[in-house]
């Protein structure tokens, strides 16, 4: 069946994937007719899965019923603290059972959840708290330690709730356990109703921070509709894969996911976790990624789905002890967020017997716009797939003044109900990026005559290391702060499993001295570890530029042995 035939069959009136057109901020937009209207109703629906395991972390197992009880209690306690519709509540912690409970408690009040990157330094986290104007922070003990000295400088921050504290808490900080108890006791919490708050589909729900090539990180303001759209988008793609194969789509059944992507990414929170609440699937968390431990978990928990970024798949494939584990439960290895080699697609299918899947999206699209799976992906391993039925993509001239024909490379624009409202408190950046319901992605791409999208380059000055975005100017600015550095540029160099890594080229002032290790340590003290250049080359002259003064980074890549 062609893509058009599949869409006609799956989206026909009365079908699960039926669409309707609604007005979103003045733009007529196709949406999934049967999507949940808001996240509060979604989490309450998840209660219907009862004692099925929802969250597994080490030796802790939390059922859907227990998690929803905890959500109701925490939402009630947050409301008593004065958290209401539109208030921002920041959330920063590693993947713990408390993370989804806190997330859904916040959004069930109509408040805005602000998931902050748990890899950020204290200064970076402080920026996110200040920029969002967070009223409450829910944090684990490690992030709490990074921020303790800054709480007094944040006038908007009234309460800090610390999950699993190790030390005595003072000042604004108190233990999250005091409000809802430890995860192992949530099943014994009283069954209380959720606070009743009217929430519309296009009400504000989240601020996920992204960064541009200039300036400070920007908060992408997402809605309830943005997040629930991914539930049916993922189901649609699975059904499309079946029909393209010549099979009738199966009814969704609960699966077990090994969730190794941090939940502060839209890939994990939106594209992955939302669907588990409908299907009754289980999320298994790891304290920290370790390929050997992952193999043991896949065998022990009979994991069906894992992935996240290509790095994960590579490390599982090439682990020397892989043959010692029973991995026969694996059905799907899905990833996005970083370039992947066609070789990886073929090896997943050949060696695991699992189907590979990938997709394209960004923070500004709340994850999925295009998605690729099954035989379509095996046959087109360099594509990120066609758009889901409620999304549209087009290839525009870099100037943004005309749409380009099939096959030509230009800037990828995307539209649909997954596109966020804009950037938090940044009207100029919003106007530049969001145009009449379309988001200008900054990615260079082409679309073939069947509608499959191919990302060919990134117009934005960005390095993606294993799914983590590294914005060059941020690292360059730190290098410029080092005494004697007069010119600096960050480039991405290929890495087989991470996709790419950051490297730097630096020019020093006459008589100035610096070693590679000194500069790396300088960056490491000021930015998260994944942003530190893995290699630094020193140039005897200022760096090459074009007529507009822009550094010619492609020329700099030749300084690194990437063979």
The CB density around residue 23, as the number of other CB atoms within 10 Å, is 9
Contact call for residues 1 and 376 (beta carbons, < 8 A): no
Instruction: Enter the DSSP assignment of 545.
Output: B
Structure-block tokens of residue 274: 């939302």
Please report the pLDDT score of residue 512 as a whole number. 85
Written as one string, the DSSP assignment of 79-94 is HHTT--TT-EEEEE-S
- Separation of alpha carbons 21 and 153, rounded Å: 46
3-state secondary structure of 42: helix
* List of residues 6+ apart from 76 with CB closer than 8 A: 192, 194, 195
Structure-block tokens of residue 463: 């390095």
Strands 332-335 and 19-24: unpaired
Please report the pLDDT score of residue 339 as a whole number. 55
Burial class (CB in 10 A: 0-12, 13-18, 19+), 554: exposed
**What is the number of residues in the chain?**
563
Q: Nearest Cα to 381, choosing from 411, 346, 354? A: 346
Contact call for residues 473 and 504 (beta carbons, < 8 A): no
What does R_g of the chain's alpha carbons equal in angstroms?
23
Stretch (H or E) spanning 554: helix 553-556
222-to-29, 180, 203 alpha-carbon distances in Å: 16, 27, 8
Structure-block tokens of residue 550: 């822009």
Residue-by-residue pLDDT tens, the chain, 563 positions: 899 999 999 999 999 999 999 999 999 999 999 999 999 999 999 999 999 999 999 999 999 999 999 999 999 999 999 999 999 999 999 999 999 999 999 999 999 999 999 989 899 999 999 999 999 999 999 999 999 999 999 999 999 999 999 999 999 999 999 999 999 999 999 999 999 999 999 999 999 998 544 457 899 999 999 999 999 999 999 999 999 999 999 888 999 999 998 999 999 999 999 999 999 999 999 999 899 999 999 999 999 999 877 778 878 888 889 999 999 999 999 887 555 667 778 888 888 889 888 899 999 999 899 998 888 988 888 899 999 999 999 999 988 999 999 999 899 999 999 999 999 999 999 999 999 999 999 888 899 999 999 987 666 667 888 888 787 778 888 898 898 887 889 999 999 888 899 999 998 887 789 999 999 999 999 999 999 999 999 999 888 875 445 678 888 888 897 65
Structure-block tokens of residue 553: 């980074």
The CB density around residue 285, as the number of other CB atoms within 10 Å, is 21
Please report the pLDDT score of residue 313 as a whole number. 82
Contact call for residues 478 and 536 (beta carbons, < 8 A): no
* List of residues 6+ apart from 323 with CB closer than 8 A: none
pTM, to two decimals: 0.86
Q: Nearest Cα to 158, choosing from 125, 129, 181, 118? A: 129
Please report the pLDDT score of residue 483 as a whole number. 86
Instruction: Enter the DSSP assignment of 414.
Output: E
Please report the pLDDT score of residue 548 as a whole number. 45
- Separation of alpha carbons 78 and 89, rounded Å: 10
Domains of the chain: 3-34+220-458 (3.40.50.12780), 40-49+64-199 (3.40.50.980), 462-559 (3.30.300.30)
Structure-block tokens of residue 331: 């059905």
Contact call for residues 135 and 88 (beta carbons, < 8 A): yes
Name residue 464's beta-bridge partners.
469
485-to-472, 504, 536 alpha-carbon distances in Å: 16, 12, 12
- Separation of alpha carbons 233 and 235, rounded Å: 5
Strands 136-140 and 88-92: parallel
551-to-459, 489, 494 alpha-carbon distances in Å: 14, 8, 19
Handedness of CA 462, 465, 466, 468 (dihedral sign): negative
- Separation of alpha carbons 430 and 471, rounded Å: 18
Q: Residue for token digits 């805005």?
A: 112
Structure-block tokens of residue 468: 């983590």
Structure-block tokens of residue 506: 């630096």
312-to-45, 158, 529 alpha-carbon distances in Å: 32, 39, 19
Please report the pLDDT score of residue 439 as a whole number. 98
Strands 218-223 and 422-423: antiparallel
Q: Nearest Cα to 560, choosing from 513, 492, 514? A: 492
Sheet with 485-495, strands from edge to edge, namely: 485-495, 499-508, 535-539
Sequence-ordered alpha helix ranges (H) in 246-373: 266, 274-279, 291-301, 310-317, 342-347
């Amino acid at each position: 069946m062609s893509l058009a035939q599949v869409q006609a069959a799956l989206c026909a009136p009365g079908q699960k994937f039926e669409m309707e057109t609604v007005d979103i901020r003045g733009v007529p937009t196709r949406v999934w007719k049967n999507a949940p209207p808001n996240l509060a109703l979604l989490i309450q629906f998840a209660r219907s899965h009862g004692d099925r395991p929802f969250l597994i972390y080490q030796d802790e197992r939390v059922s859907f019923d227990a998690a929803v009880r905890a959500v109701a209690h925490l939402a009630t306690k947050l409301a008593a603290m004065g958290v209401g519709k539109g208030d921002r509540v920041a959330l920063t912690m590693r993947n713990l059972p408390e993370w989804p409970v806190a997330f859904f408690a916040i959004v069930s009040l109509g408040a805005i959840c602000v998931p902050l990157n748990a890899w950020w330094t204290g200064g970076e986290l402080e920026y996110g708290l200040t920029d969002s104007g967070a009223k409450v922070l829910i944090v684990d003990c490690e992030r709490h330690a990074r921020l303790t000295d800054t709480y007094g400088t944040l006038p908007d921050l009234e309460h800090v709730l610390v999950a699993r504290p190790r030390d005595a808490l003072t000042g604004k900080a108190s233990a999250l356990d005091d409000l809802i108890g430890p995860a192992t006791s949530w099943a014994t919490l009283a069954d209380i109703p959720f606070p009743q708050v009217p929430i519309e589909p296009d009400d504000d729900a989240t601020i996920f921070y992204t960064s541009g090539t200039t300036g400070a990180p920007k908060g992408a303001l997402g809605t309830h509709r943005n997040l629930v759209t991914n539930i049916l988008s993922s189901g649609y793609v699975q059904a499309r894969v079946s029909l393209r194969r010549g099979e009738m789509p199966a009814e969704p059944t609960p699966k077990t996911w090994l969730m190794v992507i941090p939940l502060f990414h839209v890939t994990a929170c939106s594209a992955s976790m939302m669907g588990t609440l409908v299907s009754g699937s289980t999320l298994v968390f790891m304290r920290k990624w370790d390929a050997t431990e992952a193999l043991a978990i896949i065998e022990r928990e009979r994991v069906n789905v894992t992935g996240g970024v290509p790095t994960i798949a590579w490390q599982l494939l090439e682990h020397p002890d892989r043959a010692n584990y029973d991995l026969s439960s694996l059905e799907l290895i899905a990833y996005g967020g970083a370039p992947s080699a066609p070789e990886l697609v073929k090896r997943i299918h050949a060696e695991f017997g699992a189907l590979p899947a990938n997709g394209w999206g960004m923070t500004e699209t709340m994850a999925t716009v295009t998605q690729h799976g099954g035989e379509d992906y095996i046959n087109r391993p360099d594509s990120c797939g066609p758009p889901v039925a409620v999304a549209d993509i087009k290839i525009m001239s870099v100037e943004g003044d005309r749409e380009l024909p099939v096959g030509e490379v230009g800037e990828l624009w995307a539209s649909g109900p997954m596109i966020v409202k804009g950037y938090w408190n940044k009207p100029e950046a919003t106007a530049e990026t969001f145009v009449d319901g379309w988001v200008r992605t900054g990615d260079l791409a082409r679309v073939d005559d069947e509608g499959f999208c191919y990302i060919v380059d990134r117009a934005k000055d960005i390095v993606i290391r294993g799914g983590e975005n590294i914005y060059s100017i941020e690292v360059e600015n730190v290098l410029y702060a080092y005494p004697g550095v007069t010119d600096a540029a960050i480039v991405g160099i290929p890495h087989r499993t991470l996709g790419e890594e950051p490297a730097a080229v630096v020019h020093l002032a006459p008589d100035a001295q610096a070693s590679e290790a000194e500069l790396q340590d300088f960056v490491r003290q000021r930015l998260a570890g994944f942003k530190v250049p893995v290699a630094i080359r020193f140039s005897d002259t200022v760096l090459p530029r074009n007529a507009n003064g822009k550094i010619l980074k492609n020329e700099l890549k030749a300084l690194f042995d990437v063979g």
